[in-house]
Structure 1
Amino acid sequence: MTRALIVIDVQESFRAHPLWETISDPKITRQVDRLVGLARRAGDTVVWVLHSEPGSGGVFDPALGHVRLMDELSRRDGEPLIHKTSHNAFTTTNLQQLLTERGVRELTVCGIRTEQCVETTARLASDLGYQVTFVTDATATNPVPHRDAPAGQSVAELLADPRTLSAEDVVRRTEYALSGRFATIATVDELETSAASRA
């Protein structure tokens, strides 16, 4: 097939981070698993991407053991697993080569965080000529602090600051920024309905 699903950073690192309690969808693995099932049934390539910050001492440092898929997800033999050290899934990996070798021209993207690694990957993929579908309800993110917020805010301080952009607003703004420019916005339900109509 010429399609691939790119699952970005749905990893235990986020659960180990204090901000996890503010995540927009703590059950994101359910939506991601539905997309993975759709892709596998269609014979599409499923690519798993993990973010890694070696030597950082933080939750993305592989030495701490959190840089692995969330426990509810399972990768099958033959499904590529790549590790990135940049926000997008292309710059520090062989993702483009992998997709080119498989003849992939259409990408479906999902994962954590909506406006950061997932959006950045979608934008770069579009610039590289891929047709991109951004599955919003299979992404998750956290509230974003105001640019003037003090460094090292606690979760309570972040949530109490009226300037903080809520996770819901982050998702909504990401949809506006991508739609019609870099990606088609879709939901898991819509993709399941479309797959059923083609069957």
Structure 2
Amino acid sequence: MTRALIVIDVQESFRARPLWETISNPKIADQVNRLARLAREAGDLIVWVLHSEPGSGDVFDPALGHVRLMEELQRHDTEPLIHKTSHNAFTTTNLQQLLTERGVRELTVCGIRTEQCVETTTRVASDFGYQVTFVTDATATNPLAHPDAPAGQSVAELLSDPRTLSAEEIIRRTEYALAGRFATIATVGQLEAAGESRA
């Protein structure tokens, strides 16, 4: 086992926020399930990661009950589930230990949000020497407010602000930043095709 699928923050916390209506990929769980099936068929490790902010009082506070995998996801009991409190999946978890113990050198990453926790994990993994595949269509993000936008914007205000960066722009810029430097960019379909050719 030299490969692992890392599923980052595909959790109910995001659906508990009004901003979910702007998400770029509302069916992300379907894409993740496809990747999980592919990983299991290849005998690869799958690690599920949840983001947690204990005591915050918001949707990432475990006390509110939203810090759990999206109900559509099909996780097997033997697959590790870890909780992080940092943007990347390494710093506040035992992820690297799990990977090292199993001899993993290649990672496939997916999850929420494209440019935040998924990209940050990808960059750290690359620095640690892993060969990383970033599966863009198995990530999701929201439009991003301008740094000077007022705090507490409503969804309507966010979308009407001409300075707001669209989810599509964020995804494109993330691909540009990662490709050839930190990761190989791929789609679920491309990985499924590659799996079929190896079979």
TM-score (norm 2): 0.99
For 1:74 and 1:32, locate their aligned partners in 2 and report how far apart those are by CA, in whole Å: 9
Tell me, in whole angstroms, the C-alpha distance in 1 between the residues paired with 2:180 and 2:75: 32
Cα offset, 1:77, TM superposition: 1.9
Coordinate RMSD, CA, aligned: 0.5
Whether 2:153 is the aligned partner of 1:171: answer no
Aligned pairs for 1:51-130 (under 5 A) are 51-130=51-130
Distance across 2 between alignment mates of 1:117 and 1:139 = 10
Aligned length in residues = 199
Specify every segment of 5 or more residues in structure 1 that has no aligned partner in the other structure, as ranges.
Answer: none
Letter in structure 2 aligned against 1:107: L
One-letter amino acid of the structure 2 residue matched with residue 97 of structure 1: Q
Alignment of 1:1-199 (within 5 A): 1-199=1-199
Deviation at 1:130, TM superposition (A): 0.2
Q: Distance in 2 between matches of 1:25 and 1:42?
A: 26
* Inter-partner Cα distance in structure 2 for 1:133 and 1:46: 14
Query: Which blocks of at least 5 consecutive residues in structure 2 are unaligned?
Result: none
Distance in 2 (alpha carbons) for counterparts of 1:37 and 1:78: 14
**Superposed displacement of residue 74, structure 1:** 2.3
- Percent identity over the alignment is 84
The whole-number CA distance in structure 2 between the counterparts of 1:73 and 1:120 is 23
SS of structure 1 residue aligned to 2:129: coil
Q: Report the CA distance between 1:78 and its aligned residue.
A: 1.4
Residue 169 of structure 1: how far off its partner (Å) = 0.5
How far does residue 14 in structure 1 lie from its aligned partner after superposition?
0.3
After TM superposition, the runs of 4+ consecutive aligned structure 1 residues lying more than 3 A away are none
Give CA deviations for 1:16-66 in whole Å, capped at 9, x if unaligned: 011100000111111110000000000000000000000101000000100
- The range that moved more, 53-62 or 69-78, is 69-78
Separation in structure 1 between the aligned mates of residue 149 and residue 49 of structure 2, nearest angstrom: 31
1:94-134 CA deviation, whole Å, 9 max, x = no partner? Answer: 00011000000000000000000000000000000000000
Q: Measure the CA separation in 1 of the matches of 2:77 and 2:23.
A: 30
Cα deviation 1:131-186 (Å, max 9, x = unaligned): 00000000000000111111111110000000000001100000000000000000
